[in-house]
Amino acid sequence: MGSEAPGSLWLAAPMRAANVRARLIAVPSAGGTPSMYRSLADRLAPDVEVWAVQLPGRERRFGEPVPESLAEIVPALATAIGDTIEPPFAILGHSMGALIAYEVARRLCDLGEPPPQRLLVSAFPAPHLPLWSAQAPRHTLPDEELLRWLAAAGGMPAEALADRELMALLLPSIRGDLRACESYAYRPAPPLPMPVTAFAGSDDALVPVEHVAAWDRHTDGDFDLNVLPGGHFYLHTAEHALASRVRDVLAPGIP
């Protein structure tokens, strides 16, 4: 997951590209970057190609405005996937990335483009459910309150949260991504035609397991729920278990 994908700012090209059996497109969480999936990519089979999504406003796209709605992300990302990625492929999204992955899968189906052969969603409520339950919007919190919320979610090391200069650079993308999630309005649609694999953290204080389990109504295919030990960012603490299950569902070359 290093250099820019040909013809696309949206996809970071994979490190492995020989003898490809399956491709996995990985969408980061709010404020996230392609590097959050490096550990997972390293643990998958060498013939699985991982393309991480590069959202505007961070890393190589730091100078671009941060999108504030999914409408600024989904059409362009779906086009980039259609132009760049050869089937078969699956899409994985963690937290906010799960919502983006779902909407991209829907758009590809609506356009008659090759859709993902499996959707993998992680630590995010099914799209018909409210986000954060009854809590106030997170993107409008003052900086100090937002930092405390991020610390409680466990998504960033304490030393990063304590670095005020670093957080001044990162908070705009985090706020923009949270705004995109919190302004999302679900539009009822037919279930997706591909199977869905869902992941939840057993101790996730942000997203209850039952809200992740509710993704089962959004597929006409098989559905399986995997509860892994840890909180909202269990993928950093249960990375072996996550990689093992992802390997399993991609093992046939994606069903």
Residues 8, 29, 95, 173: which is the catalytic one? 95
Residue 95 among the catalytic residues:
yes
* C-beta atoms surrounding 243 within 10 Å: 18
DSSP string, 161-229: HH-HHHHHHHHHHHHHHHHHHHT------PPBSS-EEEEEETT-SSS-HHHHHGGGGGBSS-EEEEEES
What burial class does residue 118 get, using C-beta atoms within 10 Å of its C-beta: 0-12 exposed, 13-18 middle, 19+ buried?
Answer: buried
Joined together, the tokens standing for residue 244 give 């093992």
8 Å CB contact between 21 and 45: yes
Three-class DSSP category at 78? helix
> By CB neighbour count within 10 A (0-12 exposed, 13-18 middle, 19+ buried), where does 185 fall?
exposed
User: Would you call 247 helix, strand, or coil by DSSP?
Assistant: helix
Alpha-carbon span 163 to 176, nearest angstrom: 20
Question: What residues are annotated to the active site?
Answer: 95
